[in-house]
């Protein structure tokens, strides 16, 4: 792809925008990087190359005046799609310059955990691999690196701006309601996720979650080999469970590998593990080596993370559960009664699916923030609910009411933006708040 001499507009100056601006400028493009936020609210502008022209704190320029528009994932399509001559996102841009096979992973939940496992498993198979994309490291940073495989976490926002993107191995982990304020409907959201397979060919591999009806339905449009993963039953090709072992079904038969020693044993965590094995074995990695590598991978922060046990009560941080599907999986991971902290900012999502997941598991739901009333409307008929303004208030009440052998679980089912910058900040705040709880909680016979 020729960039030299092209007039390029970068929309948005987050991590991926800054990376794209510098990348295009280094290849001879005339680059304008624009963001409507004022300078004082934008980070790391000093990392932009001197050749990059900057426009901040103003209405975005007319995209029709540029040869190429590179939108950041957070910029909606309606801001540029109709008038731009050519649009490609940073994932598409990276794919045109990467000279190694690409593994791409998308899905509503589990992307970061899965690509972390994939990277470790590929390295165990003696392949040089690095992860980038939606994890916070720009995809363009992999261009020119000494790699055998580029591993990309890809969001639905990023998939809106791909054109020729054709990963050697692509996976969709699951599709549950999320970002409907952006995509408008589940049908559009699922179709956007399926774009990860659109340009694959017969020699490529598509990895699909057999347990997810929406994802399983994508198989008919896949042009390459289809591999499935399942925690619930057998699959025709791919990875599933056979008793306490992983069963890998290939063209030449089945191979079983023990799962002992991995930290990925709960429902959705195990699904991520099976997805990763399906991905790397498509690239020739021995499954026993893959599982061995997984034994050395710890779960990522803010994903069903044990924070403390106080007075016999287990406190768990799953701040990354930013949508109903992730929160339901989190609830289903515990056998003990749960004191559930949920709430946050509203993304236009239907919470009704949470009622079934909560019934019989949740002792009480402590609902806070913008979505407290909407969550209560769904849950009131199934479980006890209480409402609070802030996460701190909800945690204080849950800690006072929980008994030994019970769980206080932060699984918000919502984005964090009403009270926190992101899910990481929310999770860190929860950790500190748990640490600050009184050393000796009230006796359970007392009034808290």
pLDDT given at position 266: 63
pTM metric for this prediction: 0.84
The CATH code that applies to domain 305-435 is 3.90.190.20
Quote the pLDDT of residue 267. 64
184: tokens are 């408008």
Which mean pLDDT values do the consecutive 10-residue runs of the chain (448 residues) have?
Answer: 96 96 98 97 96 97 97 92 95 98 96 96 98 95 98 96 97 89 90 97 98 97 96 94 91 90 75 96 96 87 88 94 90 92 88 94 96 96 96 96 96 92 95 87 38
Report how far residue 313's alpha carbon sits from residue 249's, in angstroms, rounded to the nearest whole number: 41
Residues labelled as active-site residues: 111, 134, 179
Domain 7-87 and domain 91-294 have a common topology: no
Q: Which pLDDT belongs to residue 161?
A: 94
Cα-to-chain-centroid distance, residue 103:
15
Token code pair at residue 369: 């923030």
- Residue 394: φ, ψ to 5°: -65, -45
* Domain assignments of the chain as residue spans, ordered by start: 7-87, 91-294, 305-435
From the list 282, 295, 285, the residue with the least C-alpha distance to 125 is: 285
- CA dist 151 and 274 (Å) reads 17
Q: What is the pLDDT of residue 349?
A: 83
431, 432, 433, 438: CA torsion to nearest 10: 110
Looking at residue 341, its pLDDT comes to 98
Q: Give the per-residue pLDDT at 443.
A: 41
Give the tokens for residue 162.
Answer: 């791909």
- What is the CB-side half-sphere exposure of residue 214 using CA atoms within 13 A? 17
Which class is 91-294 in CATH?
Answer: alpha beta
Detail the DSSP E strand segments found in 213-361.
Answer: 225-229, 238-242, 245-250, 253-258, 305-310, 313-317, 338-343
Please give the Cα distance from 130 to 278 (Å, whole number): 18
Per-residue pLDDT at 94? 98
Q: What is the DSSP string of 359-381?
A: TTTEEEEEEESTTHHHHHHHHTT
Which CATH code of 1.10.460.10, 3.40.50.720, 3.40.30.10, 3.10.20.740 fits the domain covering 7-87?
Answer: 3.40.50.720
Nearest to 367 by CA among 357, 376, 358, 356: 376
Helix (H, G, I), strand (E, B) or coil at 69: strand
The answer to whether 87 touches 76, Cβ cutoff 8 Å, is no
- Is residue 320 within 8 Å of 178, Cβ to Cβ? no
Residue 445, pLDDT score: 36
Burial 201-213 (b: 16+ CB within 10 A, else e): eeebbbbbbbbbe
The reported pLDDT for the residue numbered 305 is: 87
């Amino acid at each position: 792809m020729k960039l030299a001499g092209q007039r390029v507009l970068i929309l948005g100056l987050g991590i991926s925008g800054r990376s794209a601006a510098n990348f295009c400028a280094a290849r001879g493009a005339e680059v304008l990087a624009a963001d409507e936020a004022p300078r004082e609210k934008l980070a790391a502008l000093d990392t932009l190359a001197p050749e990059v022209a900057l426009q901040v704190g103003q209405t975005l320029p007319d995209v029709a005046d540029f040869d190429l528009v590179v939108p950041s994932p957070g910029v909606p399509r309606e801001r540029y799609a109709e008038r731009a001559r050519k649009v490609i996102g940073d994932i598409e841009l990276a794919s045109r310059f990467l000279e190694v096979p690409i593994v791409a992973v998308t899905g509503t939940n589990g992307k970061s955990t899965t690509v972390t496992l994939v990277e470790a498993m590929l390295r165990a198979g003696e392949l040089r691999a690095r992860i980038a994309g939606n994890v916070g490291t720009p995809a363009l940073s992999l261009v020119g690196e000494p790699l055998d495989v580029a591993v990309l976490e890809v969001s639905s926002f990023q998939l809106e701006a791909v054109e020729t993107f054709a990963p050697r191995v692509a996976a969709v982990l699951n599709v549950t309601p999320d970002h409907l304020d952006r995509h408008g409907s589940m049908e559009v959201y699922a179709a956007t996720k399926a774009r990860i397979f659109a340009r694959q060919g017969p020699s490529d591999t598509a990895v699909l979650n057999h347990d997810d009806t929406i994802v399983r339905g994508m198989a008919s449009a896949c042009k390459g080999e289809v591999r499935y993963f399942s925690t619930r039953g057998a699959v025709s090709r791919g990875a599933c469970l056979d008793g306490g072992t992983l069963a890998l079904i290939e063209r030449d038969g089945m191979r079983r590998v023990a799962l002992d020693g991995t930290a990925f044993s709960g429902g959705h965590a195990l699904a991520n593990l099976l997805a990763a094995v399906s991905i790397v074995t498509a690239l020739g990695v021995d499954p026993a080596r893959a599982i061995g590598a997984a034994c050395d991978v710890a779960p990522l922060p803010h994903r069903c993370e044990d924070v403390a046990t106080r007075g016999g009560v287990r406190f768990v941080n799953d701040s990354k559960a930013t949508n109903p599907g992730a929160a339901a999986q989190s609830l289903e991971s515990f056998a003990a009664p749960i004191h559930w902290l949920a709430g946050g900012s509203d993304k236009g999502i239907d919470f009704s699916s949470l009622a079934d997941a909560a019934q019989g598991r949740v002792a009480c739901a402590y609902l806070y923030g913008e979505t407290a009333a909407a969550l209560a409307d769904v849950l009131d008929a199934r479980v006890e609910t209480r409402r609070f303004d802030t996460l701190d208030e909800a945690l204080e009440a849950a800690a006072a009411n929980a008994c030994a052998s019970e769980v206080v679980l932060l699984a918000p089912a919502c984005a964090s933006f009403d009270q926190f910058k992101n899910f990481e900040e929310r999770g860190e705040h929860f950790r500190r708040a748990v640490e600050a709880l009184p050393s000796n909680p009230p006796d359970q016979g007392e009034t808290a």
